Amino acid sequence: MRLPRTSGITAFALSVLLALTMSLMTAPSAQAGQTGIRGADPSVLRVGGTYISVQSTGAGINVRQASSTGGLASAAARQVWSDTGNLGEVWAPEIVRDGGRYYIYFSAGRGAAHRMYVISSATPDSGYGAATKLALPDDKWAIDGTLFTFNGQRWFVWSGWAGTTNVEQNLYIARMSNPTTPTGGRYIISQPRESWERVVGNPFINEGPEAIKDPNGQLHITYSANGSWSEQYCIAELRLKAGGDPTYVWDWYKSNGCLFGSNRATMMAGWDPTLYVNGPGHHTFVLLDGDIATSPPAGPTFPLMYHGVPKGTPYSWENRSWYTGSFCWWGNTTYSRANVPGANTDTGWSLKFFE
């Protein structure tokens, strides 16, 4: 592991990174963080001392429970839903806890028919009913959706198409009146238009959005860029300016490169590429109750899970595994932009990711 550059950081933050570095130096390099779970798109939350994950089986959804993220690989996988209605390919389930109830959002369909669905239960690993299609505004192709609450309002964020053809995948946001009911319009918040997120395309991609709140209470949405079939896959982010409107695209500032990736050419200045894994992406912040109100403070590192392929192994969907990792907040970070409304720069918290 390489230490990031230290310009603008506190001595405390540096001490945290030094301690983390020393602890990782003894880890087996080729397998650092790799779990025994083959596949993509981890979604994990913590309830008390229990870690709960969901994963697609292709035609159904499994839930695992364990006392640690690393223990999920040896936990029994319990199928909680199957595609008896022949909806089609089941992708990227996301587990959310809202009002003490569990909701699993997932995309299902074939080709251009992919739409978002939800199932819910009072318990994490049983009791789920039939899937309900989310009535997202405009009813366009949609994947990778997740629910979160920010400033007392429920929001749904997902990856989708502007129209009916596969030109590019954008990130959209909409209000929710409850965990299963969108309300109002959909609003675009990100398009894959920067050079570093257009290295691998056809289509160009912004997907796998995950919400988190920084120590100042500002909203961030991290996401995966570049084709998931390539080792150029990486994690970047959007930061909502202080007091900004989540539905107004120019209140969001995008990181000036990947924050977690395996190719130096696409990394944001001051962020180094991974040492052990290629194409890290489609991640999950492992938060208490999955609630962004429990996002970590400045200083400590917190659990993360993501998928990737070990370096030295051909990069393909079939070779992806879940990995455990960690993350922490990184302060005094400026994102810049040009030729758009609003200020050209915004300075605030960013994120550091660790294998």
- The two tokens of residue 178 are 């409850």
pLDDT single digits (tens) 71-86: 999 999 999 999 999 9
Q: Indicate the average pLDDT of the chain.
A: 92
With cut-offs at 50, 70 and 90, classify the pLDDT of residue 153.
very high
**Could you write out the three-class secondary structure of the chain?**
CCCCCCCCCCHHHHHHHHHHHHHHCCCCHHHCCEEEEECCCCEEEEECCEEEEEEECCCEEEEEEECCCHHHHHCCCEEEEECCCCCCEEEEEEEEEECCEEEEEEEEECHHHCEEEEEEECECCECCCCCEECCCCCCCCEEEEEEEEECCEEEEEEEECCCCCCCEEEEEEEEEEECCEEEEEEEEEECCCCHHHCCCCCCEEEEEEEEEECCCCCEEEEEEECCCCCCCCEEEEEEECCCCCCCCHHHEEECCCECECCCHHHECCCCCCCCCEEEEEEEEECCECCCHHHCCCCCCCEEEEEEEEECCCCCCHHHCEEEEEEEEEEEEEEEECCCCCCCCEEEEEEEEEEC
Of residues 16 and 135, the one with the higher pLDDT is 135
Whether the pLDDT of residue 14 is over 70: the answer is no
The string of pLDDT tens digits covering residues 301-313 is 999 999 999 999 9
The whole-number pLDDT of residue 32 equals 81
Q: 175: how many CB neighbours lie within 10 A of its CB?
A: 18
Tell me how far CA of residue 182 lies from CA of 153, 161, 207, 264, in angstroms: 12, 17, 19, 39
Query: In the predicted model, what is the mean pLDDT of residues 127-148?
Result: 98
Tell me the per-residue pLDDT of 181-228, one tens digit each, with 9 for 90 and over: 999 999 999 999 999 999 999 999 999 999 999 999 999 999 999 999
pLDDT, mean of residues 32-60 = 96
pLDDT over threshold 70, residue 30: no
CA neighbours closer than 13 Å in the CB half-sphere of residue 294: 14
For position 200, what pLDDT does the model report?
96
pLDDT of residue 31: 65
Cβ–Cβ under 8 Å, residues 259 and 236: yes
pLDDT tens-place string over residues 292-349: 999 999 999 999 999 999 999 999 999 999 999 999 999 999 999 999 999 999 999 9
Query: Which residue in 175, 107, 173, 118 sits closest to 141, CA to CA?
Result: 107
Position 21 pLDDT exceeds 50: no
Task: Give pLDDT tens digits for 244-287.
Answer: 999 999 999 999 999 999 999 999 999 999 999 999 999 999 99
pLDDT at 4: 33
Which residues fall within 8 angstroms of residue 50, CB to CB, at 6 or more apart? 65, 66, 67
pLDDT recorded at residue 26 = 33
The two tokens of residue 281 are 């992406």
Nearest to residue 49, comparing CAs of 63, 66, 35, 73? 66
